[in-house]
A and B are shown apart, each in its own frame.
Chain A
C-alpha cells in the first residue's frame, strides 16, 4: 500500500532556536505520561485516576511536595556532580561511591568526635560536616582523576569499582566499629549535627509542622548557581568545555589538561560528597547501610536528561524526586519505574528533533 504522504527527515542546516531543547524535553515528558496512560489502560487500569493520584501524591499538598523535594535534594547535587564531569567528557559513574564517602567523612565529625559536641555552636558543626563531606567525595574523585591523568587509566572502570570500595568501607564501620547494638547503623547523631528542617519552626508557624524539608535543598540550589557560573562564566568552565569538545584544540590553545582532569574529578566528587552529607545530616541522622537507593546512578540519568545544564538539573531532579515518592505511594511500585523508563526514552529520542527537521510531504502523482 502506498501512502500519499511521506515523512522527510531533513538535516538542520541553520542553528535551532535557543528555546527548542526546553520545548522538546517538556513535550517528551508529556508524551511519556500519555504512553504510560495507554499502558495503564491496556492492563485494565484507569489512567486518569492514576495520573491524578500521581500528582496529588507528589505535588498535591505542601507536605507531599516537601517529600518530593527531600528526595530531589540529593539528586540535584549528584546530578550536578555528573553534569560537571560529563561536560569535560569525563565519565564519572562513581558518584554513588563519592556520595558514600561524603557521608562517611562528615560522620567523622560526630562519631570521632572531631569537636566537642556539647560546646561547639551548631553552625560550626554543620560547616565542618559540609567541608568534611566534600573532602571525602573529592578524595574519591581524585583517585580516578589522578590515575587517568598520570597513567591514562580508564576512569569509567576505576570510578565504578570505587563505588564498591566505598560501600564496603562504610559497612565495615557501621557493622563493626560504630554499630548501634549490633544493628547495621551507627547510633543516632546528636541534634546539633542535624540540618535544620522546616518542621523545627513548627512552634512559631503551625503550618510547618511535619514538613521534613531540610537545609540541604538550599545547598543544592546554591551549588547549581555556582556550577552554572563556573561553566558559563568562568575561565575554568570555558576550559572544561573546550577540553570536552576537542582535547586536541585545548592542548593547542595551551591548556593544562591533566591538571583540569584531576580538578574536575575532585569537584565532581565533592558535589556527590556534599549530597551524602546532606542526606545523613538532613534525613537519616546516622550513618547506616543503604542511605542511597542508587542516587549516584540516578544522577547520571538526571544529568543527561538535563542536557548537562545546572538549572535543568534542579527541574529534572524534582521530577525524579516525585517519581521516587510516587513509587512509594502507587501500587504496584513498578509503575513509577515504568514512567521513569519511558521518560528517559522520550527525552533521548527527542534529540532527533534538534538535529533534523521533520516534514510531511505529499508525494507527486506517478505518471
Chain B
C-alpha cells in the first residue's frame, strides 16, 4: 500500500463480461470508496445488474481485476462474496412468503442450530433495526408485508450477515416518497457507521440527493466513471444514460371532464390480514379525467384498486356508469368497461409461461374476430398481438416469446396494450411506471394521457408524487383508508400533499 488513505472498499478494473451474442460489460471500471454512496445509473439492459452480479459472485468476468478492501479477489460463488462482506439487496425479493421476517433472515445461516428460539432472534433483529432505522415487525409473516416492508427485510438480511459493502439494486423503485426519504436516511446512517453502498437507480433526483459520486453505463460501456454529483443536472444525466436528449415533461392537454363514470360511496374493506384497510371512502372519477391517488404505501391503495375491479369484497357501493358493481366478480367489472393495470405485473397482470400472444388476448379471447363460438383463432390472435407489439413498441424477439422473458417495461406495455384495446370506460392503473427506466416511463405516461384524451376515466394510483402532479387533473390523498382531501393538481402544493399523506385532513375537505 503506497497510498496513505484507507484502501477503497471496491475496485473493479477493466471488467469484461460476455453473454452469448452480447457484450454485457465492456472494460468497465468502478471504484467504491470507503464510506461512500456510489450511484450506478443506466437504462434497463445497460449492464448494471451484470456488473453487480459479478461483484456479488454470481458471474465471473472474462477479464478484469476486482479488489475488495485492497485485496485481489476472484469469486467462484456468492458465498465467497458474502464472506468478503459484500451483500446484495435484489430488486426482486428472495423471501419465503409463508415464513416470518426473522425466519427469512436466519434462513441458510449456521445459527440457530436446532432449536429456533425465535424470540431471542426477534430481539437481535429489533436491535439491528434500531441501529439503522429499518422498521418491520420481526414476527410478521412475509406475505402479509407491503412491498416496502419486504425490502426492509432484504436489507436487514444482508446487514445481519455482516455485509459492509451493500449493493442495492433499484431499492427506491418500490417505495413511497416518505419511505424513500427513510431509506435515504438509513443509507446515510449506514455509511456513517462505516458501510459503503453501491446504489443502482433510474431516478436522477434521488441520485443527486443521496449519492457522493456516480458511474453511468450505456450498453455495457461506462459513459461516466465516478464523477461527483455536484452541479449535475437531470438533463445531463439522462443524456449520459440514454445517449440522446430526453424530454421530461409529457404534455397534458386542457380538457373539460364529462359525466361521472366511477362513483365510490362509503366503501370499507379489509386487507389480507383482516385489518380494516378502507374506511368509508368516497370519491368519483369523470370521463376524460385522471384522478390521482397519492399516499404512503399500504394506506389502502391496493385494496381500493381491488374493490373497484371486483377482486376484493367490500361494504358500501361502487357505481360504474350508474350500476352498482360492489362485490361483483372481476368478470362483471370487465363487462362494465373497467380496465385494470395491476400493481403486481408478474403475479397478477400476466401469465409468465404463456406467450405474448396469449397474454394479450386475456380479456378478449371470446370476442370476434379472435374468438369464435367455442374456439380461438390463433392466426387472428397472433396478428392482433403483432399489431400491439408494433403499435406499443414492445421489444421482444416475437409474439411467441414467453411473458417471463420480457423486461419490466416491455411487460408493462403488453399489459397496458391489452387493457387499452378493451376500450375501457374506466381504467384503474396502479403504479404503472414503477421500476421502469426513463424511456419506458415516458411512453407509459403518454399512453395514459392518450387514454384520457379518448375520454376514459382514469384512476391513477401512484407513489411518485411528480408523476401524479404531471398526469392528474385532481389528486386525492389517502391515509389509513380515508381520503384526506382532494386537490386540483394544477395548483396543488407538494407540502400540503405531504402533510395529508401523514394524516392531516384538509380543512375544507
- Chain A residues with a Cβ under 8 A of chain B: 10, 13-15, 229, 233-236, 238, 241-242, 245-246, 248-256, 357
Secondary structure at chain B's binding surface: helix, strand, loop or mixed?
A: loop
Contacts of A245 in B (CB 8 A): 351-354
Contacts of B401 in A (CB 8 A): 15
- Chain B residues with a Cβ under 8 A of chain A: 19-20, 309-311, 329-335, 340, 342, 344, 347-354, 358, 361-363, 365-366, 371, 374-376, 378, 397, 400-402, 405
In angstroms, how far is the closest chain B Cβ from the Cβ of A240? 12
A249–B375 alpha-carbon span in the complex (Å)? 21
**Do A15 and B348 touch (CB < 8 A)?**
no
**Other-chain contact of A246, B310, B331, B352 (Cβ < 8 Å):** B352
Contacts of A252 in B (CB 8 A): 309, 311, 330, 340, 342, 348-349
Contacts of A235 in B (CB 8 A): 365-366, 371, 374-376
A254–B338 alpha-carbon span in the complex (Å)? 11
Which of A15, A246, A253, A357 is the most central at the interface, judged by chain B CB atoms within 10 Å of its CB? A253
Contacts of B352 in A (CB 8 A): 245-246
A204–B306 alpha-carbon span in the complex (Å)? 70
**Do B400 and A15 touch (CB < 8 A)?**
yes
- Minimal Cβ-Cβ distance residue in A for B374: A234
**Do A13 and B19 touch (CB < 8 A)?**
yes
Contacts of B358 in A (CB 8 A): 238, 241-242
Given contacts A241-B354, A245-B351, A254-B363, 18 further A-B contacts (CB under 8 A): A15-B401, A15-B402, A15-B405, A234-B375, A235-B366, A235-B371, A238-B358, A245-B353, A246-B347, A249-B347, A249-B350, A251-B330, A252-B340, A252-B342, A252-B349, A254-B310, A254-B330, A256-B329
Contacts of B344 in A (CB 8 A): 248
**Other-chain contact of A233, B19, B353, B378, B405 (Cβ < 8 Å):** B378
Contacts of B311 in A (CB 8 A): 251-252
**Do B354 and A242 touch (CB < 8 A)?**
yes
**Do A256 and B331 touch (CB < 8 A)?**
yes
Contacts of A15 in B (CB 8 A): 397, 400-402, 405
**Do B350 and A246 touch (CB < 8 A)?**
yes
A233–B340 alpha-carbon span in the complex (Å)? 26
**Do A248 and B329 touch (CB < 8 A)?**
no
Contacts of B405 in A (CB 8 A): 13, 15
29 A-B residue pairs with CB within 8 Å: A13-B20, A14-B397, A15-B397, A15-B405, A233-B375, A233-B378, A235-B374, A235-B375, A236-B374, A238-B358, A238-B361, A245-B354, A246-B347, A248-B347, A249-B347, A249-B348, A249-B351, A251-B311, A251-B330, A252-B309, A252-B340, A252-B349, A253-B330, A253-B334, A253-B363, A254-B331, A254-B332, A254-B334, A255-B331
A253–B353 alpha-carbon span in the complex (Å)? 16
Which of A235, A236, A357 is the most central at the interface, judged by chain B CB atoms within 10 Å of its CB? A235
Contacts of A229 in B (CB 8 A): 375
Contacts of A234 in B (CB 8 A): 374-376
A255–B351 alpha-carbon span in the complex (Å)? 13
Contacts of B371 in A (CB 8 A): 235
Contacts of A255 in B (CB 8 A): 331
Contacts of A357 in B (CB 8 A): 20
**Do B348 and A248 touch (CB < 8 A)?**
yes
Contacts of B331 in A (CB 8 A): 254-256
A246–B402 alpha-carbon span in the complex (Å)? 13
**Do B19 and A238 touch (CB < 8 A)?**
no
Contacts of A236 in B (CB 8 A): 374
Contacts of B330 in A (CB 8 A): 251-254
In angstroms, how far is the closest chain A Cβ from the Cβ of B494? 33
- Minimal Cβ-Cβ distance residue in A for B309: A252
Contacts of B333 in A (CB 8 A): 254
Contacts of A251 in B (CB 8 A): 311, 330
A105–B49 alpha-carbon span in the complex (Å)? 61
A241–B376 alpha-carbon span in the complex (Å)? 13
A251–B363 alpha-carbon span in the complex (Å)? 11
- Minimal Cβ-Cβ distance residue in B for A255: B331
**Do B362 and A242 touch (CB < 8 A)?**
yes
In angstroms, how far is the closest chain B Cβ from the Cβ of A272? 24
In angstroms, how far is the closest chain A Cβ from the Cβ of B251? 32
A254–B371 alpha-carbon span in the complex (Å)? 16
In angstroms, how far is the closest chain B Cβ from the Cβ of A156? 18
Nearest 3 Cβ contacts at the A-B interface: A254-B331, A245-B351, A253-B362
Which of A15, A235, A246 is the most central at the interface, judged by chain B CB atoms within 10 Å of its CB? A246
In angstroms, how far is the closest chain A Cβ from the Cβ of B83? 23
Contacts of A254 in B (CB 8 A): 310, 329-335, 363
A248–B333 alpha-carbon span in the complex (Å)? 16
Q: Answer whether A246 and B351 are a contact pair too, CB < 8 Å, given A233-B378, A252-B311.
A: yes
